[in-house]
Amino acid sequence: MTSQQGIIQQNQVDELKETVRNVLQQAKKLGATQAAASSSFGMGLSVTVRMRNVETLEYHRDQGLGVTVFFGQRKGSASTSDLTPGAISETVKKACSLARYTAEDDCAGLADADRMARDIPDLDLWYPWSLEPAAAIELATQCEAAALDTESRISNSEGATVGTQQSLRVYGNSHGFLEGCRETQHSLSCAVIAAEDGQMERDYEYSVARRAGDLTEGQQIGREAAERAVRRLGSVKLDTRSTPVLYPARLARGLIGHLIGAISGGSLYRKATFLLDSLDTRVFSDCVRIEELPHLPGALGSSSYDSEGVATADRMLVEDGVLKGFVLGSYYARKLGAVTTGNAGGVHNLVVSDTGHSPEGLLKMLDTGFLVTELMGSGVNIVTGDYSMGAAGFWVEQGTVQFPVSEVTIAGNLKDMYRNIVAVGTDTDCRGRVRTGSILVEGMTLAGN
């Protein structure tokens, strides 16, 4: 962050902790049998350069407080972005007044006290970046220039963006849990358009990390974005066919994301998932192993506790293709007669084990089939598992890329797709909460002409 913007200090953590502690005390005085409060503060800088000119330069500074109270089995919630004492007191009163009018829910309440995190290790998440606006503009300009100057067919740009963000979150509840965490996240991205013979194709590249020094060099990002766009020129449609599909690591993350939606508490309780009653059954091919590793140092999904204060822990989610666990917070866990898995607020670093195949090795395994590089639309039905996405990519024969393809649809059913995974690449993409390499899926339908 710039010297003018400052860096979140430890005393600000202590101040937010005191705010949350006071909220819990006020809720107790107003008769709440249980209470929880979460307060946050964040600030960041974002610069976008487009066609060598500064398009946006933004600084943001946000804060907020959320309060949840329970009067027996009645729940009330309120929030505010005004952290003055009067506004906070009014927010607590409002949450308490709302709770008196809500219906009783026998599953309402905080997560069990014995599940609260007690050991809070340093997960290496805090690396503020002293980035002045002028330096951010120069970095974005160099990144985009590298793309525009790669070759003459790069005709336009959606811009290069540099972003730096630092945040502070404090959570506490009436079980005596009160913890705060500072985190940073920095990013650099570029998207450009290539044109030839009246055809235009867009592509992008990006990098994201906790530590600025871990970002990919800006000019490399620009060149890669340009090369990706140019490679897509001259694309054609294909006839409809059945084919294996290779998802590169940047897109394979989405396949695993659909799994998370299907095994989350709300979907399971509503019976709105194609994986209902699938615990301890084979969901994937036996080459697939997925672990949740919440305590990886510096990872983007790392956390010692979930949004209810429940301790996170390493666990096997899928072992040799067999589903070994769900993704639950305390509320839906109670609804399902289960226990929380420490996933209120989401998952923490899902790691898909590779099968030892390099990207080149996966192309050889694919032999003849479709290498997808872009997915469009949201054609996934978690209730039925039906999957249908607009796509672009490359046709591959004998393990070698032949020509670009566009305006096709790849379709299947996630139940079949998961069982038809034949390999996971060693090219693990760590730019998110799901870490996976490329994934090769057999037996999909490619719909074209």
Task: State mean pLDDT over 403-432.
Answer: 97
Q: What is the pLDDT of residues 325-357, one digit of tens each?
A: 999 999 999 999 999 999 999 999 999 999 999
Q: Into which CATH architecture does domain 10-231 fall?
A: 2-Layer Sandwich (3.30)
pLDDT of res. 6: 81
Q: Which residues contact 11 (CB under 8 A, 6 or more apart)?
A: none
Q: What is the pLDDT of residues 171-208, one digit of tens each?
A: 999 999 999 999 999 999 999 999 999 899 999 999 99
Give the torsion sign (CA, 409, 415, 418, 420).
negative
- Angle at the Cα of 235 (from 231 to 236), degrees rounded to 5? 160
Q: For residue 378, what pLDDT band results from cuts at 50, 70 and 90?
A: confident
Q: For residue 2, what pLDDT band results from cuts at 50, 70 and 90?
A: very low
Give the torsion sign (CA, 302, 306, 310, 313).
negative
DSSP state letter for 9: -
Residue 30: φ, ψ to 5°: -85, 5
Q: Determine whether 340 is exposed, middle or buried from the number of CB atoms within 10 Å of its CB (0-12, 13-18, 19+).
A: buried
What is the rounded CA–CA span in Å between residue 172 and residue 175?
8
Give the torsion sign (CA, 138, 139, 140, 141).
positive
What is the rounded CA–CA span in Å between residue 409 and residue 401?
19
Average per-residue pLDDT in the chain? 96
Task: State mean pLDDT over 129-157.
Answer: 96
Q: Which residues contact 270 (CB under 8 A, 6 or more apart)?
A: none
The two tokens of residue 177 are 């849990």
Query: Across the strands, what pairs with 67?
Result: 37, 78
Burial 432-445 (b: 16+ CB within 10 A, else e): bbbbbbbbbbbebe
pLDDT of res. 5: 55
How many C-alpha atoms does 327 have within 13 Å on its Cβ side?
Answer: 26
pLDDT of res. 154: 96
10 C-beta neighbours (distance < 10 Å), count: 10
pLDDT of res. 349: 96
402 C-beta neighbours (distance < 10 Å), count: 12
pLDDT of res. 3: 36
**Residue 4: is its pLDDT beyond 50?**
no
What is the rounded CA–CA span in Å between residue 430 and residue 427?
9
Give the torsion sign (CA, 364, 370, 374, 376).
negative
| Helix segments in 163-217, DSSP class H | none
Q: Is the separation of the CB atoms in 359 and 429 below 8 Å? A: no
Task: State mean pLDDT over 82-100.
Answer: 97
Q: For residue 386, what pLDDT band results from cuts at 50, 70 and 90?
A: very high
Q: Which residues contact 248 (CB under 8 A, 6 or more apart)?
A: 359, 371, 372, 373, 427, 438
Q: Which residues contact 134 (CB under 8 A, 6 or more apart)?
A: none
DSSP state letter for 181: E
Task: State mean pLDDT over 91-110.
Answer: 96
User: pLDDT exceeding 70 applies to what percent of the chain?
Assistant: 99
Q: Is the separation of the CB atoms in 313 and 121 below 8 Å? A: no
Cα distances from 147 to residues 153, 157, 276, 342, in angstroms, run 11, 9, 47, 43
pLDDT of res. 1: 34
Report how far Cα 48 is from the mean position of its chain's Cα atoms: 22
The two tokens of residue 316 are 């096997």
Task: State mean pLDDT over 377-389.
Answer: 94
What is the rounded CA–CA span in Å between residue 171 and residue 150?
48
Which three-class secondary structure state does DSSP give residue 154? strand
DSSP state letter for 111: P
Task: State mean pLDDT over 53-60.
Answer: 96
The two tokens of residue 145 are 């220039």
pLDDT of res. 449: 83
What is the rounded CA–CA span in Å between residue 293 and residue 309?
17
Q: What is the pLDDT of residues 255-293, one digit of tens each?
A: 999 999 999 999 999 999 999 999 999 999 999 999 999
Residue 289: φ, ψ to 5°: -130, 130
Q: What residue segments make up the domains of the chain, in order of their start? A: 10-231, 241-447
What is the rounded CA–CA span in Å between residue 285 and residue 304?
31
